[in-house]
């Protein structure tokens, strides 16, 4: 049987606090909610959990806080089959997303990065052996951009393909884009990086416009389509 190189995910690990109410309150207003749930989240952790549930070997590189959320998040990752040996524990809070959802489906979100903001280039260097052994590295943009830029340089040097999910969308340097094997924007992110309306272009045209920025491959996510 062929050896399966693990996928390494470098990115955010959050706890999502979700409250539901009939509507989004106005500034200074208090309303009564209709429900509350706590979910593990973070774009990086979500990727790692999805891979683990598919039964494929996956390792997470990230940070959680030394609070109760941190231990809960580590437990959730491990239960999904994610190798958490490279997840460090920082003093302070874990990443938290506070989400309010109305009955009409509107939402407002406040994300406090917490330990995610402490994921730095030295964390990448400390886990170079894991990156070298990876079949692919996945990243997003919920951790410091300088860390992602350093990761891109390391992956390019070690000849390990890097896939970037550019969420939340933010400006990216030419060297970072050129280091990517795969770039995976959704429709709104594609508009951000093309700097023009997507509606007048076919998906193929959109992908080619983004390819021209230097990345080697593009997967254009199209929502329900």
- Give DSSP secondary structure letters for 52-105: HHTT--EEEEEEEESSHHHHHHHHHHHHTTEE-TTEEEESSPPEEEEEEEETTS
Mapping DSSP to helix (H, G, I), strand (E, B) and coil, where does residue 117 land? Answer: helix
Which residues, 6 or more positions from 165, have their beta carbon under 8 angstroms from its beta carbon?
43, 47, 138, 139, 140, 141, 184, 185
Dihedral over Cα of 170, 175, 179, 181: its sign: positive
- Determine the Cα–Cα distance for residues 87 and 49; give it in Å rounded to an integer: 14
Residue 198: pLDDT over 80: no
- Poorest-pLDDT segment among 87-91, 143-147, 195-199: 195-199
Q: Is residue 188 pLDDT above 90, yes or no?
A: no
Count of CB atoms situated within 10 Å of the CB of 104: 9
Which uninterrupted H or E stretch holds 163?
strand 162-164
Q: pLDDT tens digits, residue range 148-178?
A: 999 999 999 999 999 999 999 999 999 999 9
Cis peptide before 168 (omega within 30 of 0): yes
Contact 33, 157 (CB under 8 A): no
CA distance 76 to 62: 14
**Are residues 99 and 39 in contact, defined by beta-carbon separation less than 8 angstroms?**
no
**Per-residue pLDDT tens over the stretch 61-91:** 999 999 999 999 999 999 999 999 999 999 9
């Amino acid at each position: 049987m062929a050896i399966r190189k693990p996928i390494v995910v470098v990115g955010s690990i959050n706890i999502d606090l979700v409250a539901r109410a009939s509507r989004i309150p106005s500034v200074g207003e208090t309303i009564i909610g209709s429900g509350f749930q706590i979910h593990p989240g973070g774009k990086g952790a979500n990727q790692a959990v999805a891979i683990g549930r598919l039964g494929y070997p996956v390792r997470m590189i990230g940070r959680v806080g030394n609070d109760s959320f941190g231990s809960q998040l580590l437990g959730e990752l491990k239960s999904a089959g994610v190798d958490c040996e490279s997840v460090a524990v920082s003093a302070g809070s874990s990443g938290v997303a506070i989400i309010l959802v109305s009955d009409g489906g509107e939402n407002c979100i406040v994300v406090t990065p917490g330990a995610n903001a402490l994921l730095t280039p030295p964390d990448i260097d400390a886990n170079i052996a894991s990156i070298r052994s990876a079949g692919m590295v996945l990243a997003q943009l919920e951790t410091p951009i300088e860390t992602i830029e350093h990761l891109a340089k390391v992956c390019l040097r070690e000849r390990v393909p890097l896939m970037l999910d550019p969420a939340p969308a933010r400006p990216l340097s030419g060297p970072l884009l050129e280091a990517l094997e795969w770039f995976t924007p959704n429709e709104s992110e594609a508009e951000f990086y093309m700097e023009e309306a997507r509606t007048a272009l076919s998906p193929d045209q959109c992908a080619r416009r983004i390819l021209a920025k230097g990345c080697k491959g593009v997967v254009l996510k199209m929502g329900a389509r």
